[in-house]
Chain A
Amino acid sequence: MNWRLLLVAVGVVVFGVSLFELARPGASPLPANQALLPVLAAVVLVYVSVVLNDVRQRPDLVETPDVELATAPDAPGHDLEQTAAGFPPVAEFGGEKQGTVRGALRNAAVGVLTRYRGLDPGQARRQVLDGSWTDDRRAADWLAETDPGSSLRRRLRRLLSSGSRTERARVADAVADVADVETDPTGRPDDEPGFAAVADTGTGGRLPETHTGGQTRDQPRQTHHWAGVSVVVLVCLGVGVLLEQPGVVLAGAVAVGYATYARAGPPGAVDLSISRSVSTTSPDAGEDVAVTVTVTNEGGFCPDLRIVDGVPESLAVTDGVPRRAVALRGGESVTFSYTLRARQGTHEFGPTQVVARPLSNSTEQELLVDSETTITAVPPLRPVQESVPLRRQPTQYAGRAPTDSGGEGIEFHTVREYKPGDSMARIDWNRRARTGELTTLEFRRERATRVVLLVDARPGSHVGHDPLAMDAVERSLGAAQRVFPALLSEGHQVGIAAFGPAECFLAPDTGTSHRQRGRDLLATHPAFRAGASPDENRRIWVRQLRKRLPGNTQLVLFSPLLDGRTVRVVRELEAYGYPVTVLSPDPTATETPGQRLMRARRRLLVTDLRQTGVPVLDWPPGTPLEETLKREVVTR
């Protein structure tokens, strides 16, 4: 600071002396002559290099998130190694070293060979180890156990390619091929994400930890917008004086003007208030919502305000732009609007991000202004038009689920000997007329069942086949939303619970208010929101879930069925006497080898689960839920 003052003082003194000299040549004590000028010019030019060094260090500007987009779900299987490691181990095949990629891929290959080629594990293992299981020589060689032959070339290749990405990708593709996974013609050979990875789709992440609401203001920072201009000043002076060109020296004066402009005065204090209104806070899912934002300047003149509204991370803008650059005088305000497409669930707006700059562009200050707005969208009531294929299970309540015991009902079951007290209407009068024998008709007894819908909302399930479409949890919730009223109107008692460590349980019940409760819970419960995962390490949630489930209940699980753990939990629940039906939205894609391997793995898990007697309704994306239900009813 003192150093600067001294320089300024020296400058002022020299300036005065020079002016005096201009007026009265020869009167001042300045020791200058023609020879000193070039020396000074050279000093100036040397200083240029010092300044240039600084200019290169340009800081990053304040970043703004892509608020227009909704957070895109990843396709499962972006990590090939983890996908391979997650294949269910083949029971009779314990000799393989798990933990290495090669071991995991061998296990995967044996797994698909036993299921899809009907080999027994020993045979499959032999084929994998001698490399005869696939036509892809490189994949087979890489996976084969030992000496792939006397060929030096092969041996060299194996040595060089140990663990290379290409070889793994080829093996993954070969495994997927055995499992009949089709290759996407637009696919890519590597595991790079195809969709330009959008880092952030909301402004909430920009808030500091200590945020308490209201207005958060960052320190203003240099933009170094004019960083090069002092170099121009110095070059003009140096060159102009050296070559005695007054025009160039004067041009330097222009640059001095801009350098001063860049430093002119500190930016004024920015003070803003924001109000946001939405056309409706409780739209139907899929409905368009108009958002109007008004930004008012409570402070002095702001020549450059760059405003980005805090569109909820989970919602996408369909029309209009939630961004604006405006100049506002004190007290003035600006209003802009845009349209959102509502999706099922509760969506909170983030703070509005504002970047304020002075006229000269030389600094910028980031502000985050809160204006709390929440939209809650509940999907319209639309029960499925097909009957939900529940498991057979007798209870004491009259209802519409067919059971395996005879009695009153509609569908013919058996004929038995007449017992006194049987209803006249159930006596088989045709037989009585033909043979004189008195028999009673038995019908399939229909009974109500207690059902709990389990929705898999663990973090790993927030994946989808297409970054622009719904993820598996959303599809699960959508399906549950439609199955729930359908089961209720069939007379069942229906409850809802989260499949995972999140706390969410609605005990089975019937009635209109229960129907509404369930609908709201599915639409808005925080347990189903992405990123709302509680402690992942709570492994005891299965036991807790089991404790809460009433006896004599059957379960419908909505899960993408991507990992072995899900299958184990389903088996456990079955073992404890809860018949489970799985409705599984398929979130797998086929663009990269890892994704194809994941699809093969999911097929394997589905097959395994079906073999234990659990019906799995595989629901491919883009098909109506009814179709999937109907197919299940027909094949049963």
Chain B
Amino acid sequence: MAPGRRRSGSPLVRWVLRIIAVGYVLGLVALPVGTVVQHTFENGLEPVLESLRNPDFQAAARLGVFVAVISVLINTVFGIGISILIVRYRFPGRRLLNAIIDLPVSISPIVVGIALIFVYGTNGWFGPALNSMGIQIIFATPALVLATVIVALPLVVREVIPVLEEAGTEQDQAAQSLGANGFQRFVRITLPTIRWALAYGVVLSLARSLGEFGAVRVVSGSVAGVSQTPTLFVNDAYQEFGAQAEQDAFTAAFLLMCVAVLFIVVIALLRPKEQNQ
């Protein structure tokens, strides 16, 4: 490569490009994020601690973590299963399944929420039957979990499939000829092969699950202390009147942001490990 090519263009163009890039990131990301931090600590630490003591906030945080953990567990188990199914087996409808898994990425979460109501709501397909058995899905925790599972569905699968494809089936066959049964092969060969991709997918799902708003908003009813997740708490508190309500909204938003940053750090640490394999 010619030495001149490495830094093409005039210094002026370079500076203009830099300023545009920095300005873009500042305006779109740093400034809004900074505003949240600033508003949160505007009146010192005491109002923040007051927000943290709000029982509705605490309930929302507990519910949010509960829903996220259950959803991630479900998506991990089914994600591994679906990945193995798609990579190692050939069956009619395999490509369709592969395409459907990506659907939650492309459809708006609000559509997911409405679809769930059509199926499980009071006037939905299964709603009345489930109601008569005393099981409530919509406007209760099960709907929150369902919505979150759907929205985060592709994340584990899309991380695990390429790794499984690259690993091929020979290691599995070798283990088989050495006497390992299906379970032993899964634990000793498949899991260690996909572990970093799986960890990455789990963290992504966790972040997505905690931050989910649209689908959850539709199916939750957002009853404070009952079916309100942290994102719904932020939304509702922000729309309420009163200084403390606004403070609550900022505190919760700030915490959600902190968790997101934490996940970004974890992901940044996991990424190289996955690629090294």
Do the two chains bind? Answer: no
Interface positions of B (Cβ within 8 A of A) = none
Which residues of A line the B interface, CB within 8 A? none
